[in-house]
Structure 1
Amino acid sequence: MATMEECRSALDRLSDNLARAKGDVHAAAALDRSLSCHIIDLDSTFAGRLRNGRIEVHDTAPGPPREKAQIRLAMRGDDLVSMVDGGLNFAKAWASGRVKLEAGLRDLLRLRTLL
Structure 2
Amino acid sequence: MATVDECRAALTKLVAQFDEIGEEDRAKHVVERTVSCRITDLGLMFHGRLHHGGLDPFTEGPPADGKPADVKVTIASDDLIALVDGELDLARALLGGRVKIDASFGDLLRLRRLL
Q: Do they superpose with TM above 0.5?
A: yes
Residue 69 of structure 2 corresponds to residue 43 of structure 1: no
Q: Which residue of structure 1 aligns with residue 88 of structure 2?
A: 88
CA shift, 1:69, in A, is 0.5
| Equivalent in the alignment of 2:98 | 98
Instruction: Tell me what 1:114 maps to.
Output: 114
Percent identical residues? 40
Q: From the two aligned structures, give the one with the greater strand fraction.
A: 1
What displacement does 1:67 show? 4.1
Q: CA-to-partner distance for each residue in 1:69-102, whole Å, 9 max, x for gaps?
A: 0010000010000111111111110111100011
Aligned amino acid, residue 48 of structure 2: G
Amino acid at match of 1:19: D
Equivalent residues of 2:48, 2:55 under 8 A apart = no
Offset from partner CA, 1:37-92 (integer Å, 9 cap, x none): 000000110012112222432x3138xxx642001000001000011111111111
Higher helix share: 1
Secondary structure in 2 aligned to 1:100? strand
Counterpart mapping for 1:1-115 below 5 A: 1-22=1-22, 26=26, 27-28=28-29, 30-51=30-51, 52-57=53-58, 59-61=59-61, 67-115=67-115
Give the CA deviation at 1:24.
Answer: 7.5
Gaps in structure 1 of 5+ consecutive residues:
none
CA contact (8 A) 1:12 1:55 kept: no
Per the normalisation by structure 1, the TM-score is 0.83
d(CA) in 2 for partners of 1:45 and 1:82? 18
Closer, same or farther in 2 for the Cα pair 1:94/1:55, shift >3 Å? farther
Across the two proteins, how many residue pairs are aligned to each other?
Answer: 110
